[in-house]
Amino acid sequence: MNWETLFFFQATALYQLAAFPFAILFHYLCASGNLSINARYTFLLVGGFLLAWAAMGCYALLLLISAFSSLAVIRSAGPQQVHTWAFFVQMTWQTLCHLGLHYKEYYLQEAASNLLLCFRLPIALSALMLMTQKVTSLALDIHENKVRVGLPSEERRSFCWHLLQALPLCTYLLCFPTLLGGPLCSFHRFQAWVRYSKAPFSSGLLWAATQKGLGALTLGLLNNIVRGYISALDNLIDCTHFDCVYVVWSSALSFRLTYYSHWLLDESLFLAAGLGLDLGHHQCPAAADRVVMDTDIWTLETTNTIAGFTRTWNKSTAQWLRRLIFQQSNSHPLLATFAFSAWWHGLRPGQVFGFLCWAVMVEADYRFHRFLGSVAKSRLQRLLYQTVTWCHTQLVVAYIMIAVEMRSVSMLWQLLSSYNSFFPLVSVTVLLLLVKK
């Protein structure tokens, strides 16, 4: 794992840990009834401002500009146009910010000489990507009449009235428990959670948060041990033949452990603030919209299908992409989804290649398992089929993950010219044969 990525995850984890006492305090104050509804929104919003300033410094302005621009669009556009305008404004701003990061990293080469740039600007862009999820999810909810906001015709109301109407929306975009990470929560689920005043302080929820926090710590320690024994990704330049396969697979394992640890910590903060509280469908109908947690390590590490891995990897984001792009596309929805994912992640060469390769692998995986699953009849055949496809899935996923994380074209070329490319080529060959058949 390159040191910039490692430094980014460690810095984000420190700020998430610093937010824990405030999340628990908020949960306790809400349960004790000491905070009014507007006070709860204000607590979360002020906490978001403070966390953004601490973690991002002056780059927090990028996030605030995005939040208030999206808020203006949502409050002014009609339900039929709000999704289109919100998507356009948010993705345009996020793309400009990503281009600014690429300019600083590759042209000015500031990242290597400026430690603050190594994590402050990337943290701001990571939070901006999460902001895009919230904005587009909310805009789709408004478009589908699941959420109603104040209409533009209500202009004669007082300024304070407009401010109070905008407070829940602004808090949803900038609240501190989900500012730097965490599963995507819909606006009406978030609103129901803040407004529900009769829920007691949940020791079970706090215990679940503690378990996830301990899990994150354990995986972080395990990752440190793994990094001590694996070959560095830079060894891809000097490795030969199938030695390169071990280098890529072991580096991808370290990446996966890092992501698992990061997601578990995000979910721990999410639960500590009370966001995972089961409000009950009868007491609060909006709570029927369940929050999907991102981390399902068992499924990710045991699945023998690339499609199954794709649906489970960062699960709430996968469902968001499915709703935003896949279900809205009339032509080639799978390719459109992965192309947008590359755009959303920042359009580095490795990301463009990695996500487009991922789309091809998923399509090949669908066809391959549909064909071979019907051929393997006996118990031994099915065991062999599952073992071979699990190994193939592990190696293809490692190839894609390393490609996406590559920051230089030269390193990407080293990956493409190594023996690791054999496994995606097998999938492409199978796809071509099955399509022809």
pLDDT tens, position by position, 339-383: 999 999 999 999 999 999 999 999 999 988 888 777 777 888 888
Mean of the pLDDT values across residues 244-265? Answer: 93
Q: Mean pLDDT score of the chain, rounded to an integer? A: 86
Mean pLDDT over 269-296 rounds to: 67
Q: What is the DSSP string of 36-52?
A: -HHHHHHHHHHHHHHHH
Catalytic residue among 143, 314, 392, 420: 314
Mean pLDDT along residues 311-336: 94
* Residue labelled with tokens 């891995």: 309
pLDDT digits (tens, 9 = 90+) for 191-200: 888 887 555 5
Average pLDDT over every residue of 5-33 = 88
Catalytic one of 102, 162, 345, 369: 345
d(CA 178, CA 16): 10
Pair 323, 340: CB distance under 8 Å: no
Mean pLDDT to the nearest integer, 385-392: 93
Name the DSSP class of 80. T
Please give the pLDDT value at position 68: 93
Q: What is the mean pLDDT of residues 250-255?
A: 92
Portion of the chain with pLDDT greater than 70, in percent: 87
Rounded to an integer, what distance in angstroms lies between the CA atom of residue 141 and that of residue 108? Answer: 41
More confidently predicted of 341 and 331 = 341
288 pLDDT more than 50: no
Q: Is the pLDDT of residue 2 over 80?
A: no
- Residue with more model confidence, 165 or 113: 165
From CA 401, how far away is CA 251, in angstroms rounded? 9
For residue 104, the number of C-alpha atoms closer than 13 Å in the C-beta half-sphere is 19
In this predicted structure, the answer to whether residue 282 has a pLDDT above a threshold of 50 is: no
Instruction: Give, in order, the Cα–Cα distances in Å from 198 to each of 33, 98, 250, 277, 349.
Output: 8, 43, 49, 12, 51
Look up 345 and say whether it is catalytic.
yes
3-class SS of residue 396: helix
Q: Output the CA–CA distances (angstroms, integers) from residue 397 to 23, 251, 261, 408, in the order listed.
A: 35, 12, 18, 20
Residues whose CB is less than 8 angstroms from the CB of residue 165 and which lie 6 or more positions away in sequence, other chains included: 75, 149, 150
If one counts every other C-beta atom within 10 angstroms of the C-beta of residue 175, the result is 26
User: Rounded mean pLDDT of 137-158?
Assistant: 75
Pairwise pLDDT comparison (18 vs 242), residue with the higher score = 18
Residue where the block lists tokens 């721990």 = 268
User: Among 37-46, 145-154, 417-426, which is the least confidently predicted range?
Assistant: 145-154
Q: What are phi and psi of 158, to 5 degrees?
A: -70, 160
What pLDDT sits at residue 281?
46
Provide the pLDDT confidence category of residue 161 given band limits of 50, 70 and 90. Answer: low
Integer angstrom CA distances of residue 228 from 4, 235, 395:
18, 14, 21
Tokens found for residue 320: 């968001």
- Distance, CA of 40 to CA of 400 (rounded, Å): 42
Contact 406, 233 (CB under 8 A): no
- Please give the Cα distance from 23 to 255 (Å, whole number): 28
Q: How confident is the model at residue 230 (pLDDT cuts 50, 70, 90)?
A: confident
Would you place residue 234 in the very low, low, confident or very high pLDDT band (cuts 50, 70, 90)?
low
- Site of tokens 């070959």: 231
The 10s digit of each residue's pLDDT in 22-57 is: 999 998 888 887 888 999 999 999 999 999 999 999
pLDDT value for 159? 58
Q: How far apart are CA 109 and CA 126, in angstroms?
A: 20
Local structure of 145: helix, strand or coil: coil
Average pLDDT of the residues in 391-412: 92
Distances (CA, A) of 222 to 181, 233, 338, 398: 22, 18, 31, 18
pLDDT recorded at residue 75:
86
- 141-157 average pLDDT score: 71
Residue-level length of the chain: 437
Q: Average pLDDT of 252-268?
A: 94
Residue 1 banded pLDDT, cuts 50, 70, 90: low
* Residue 71, pLDDT score: 92
pLDDT for res 326: 95
**Does position 251 have pLDDT exceeding 70, yes or no?**
yes
Supply the pLDDT for residue 287.
43
Q: Quick one: pLDDT at residue 85?
A: 94
Asked whether the CA dihedral 383, 386, 390, 396 is positive or negative, the reply is positive
Model pTM above 0.85? yes
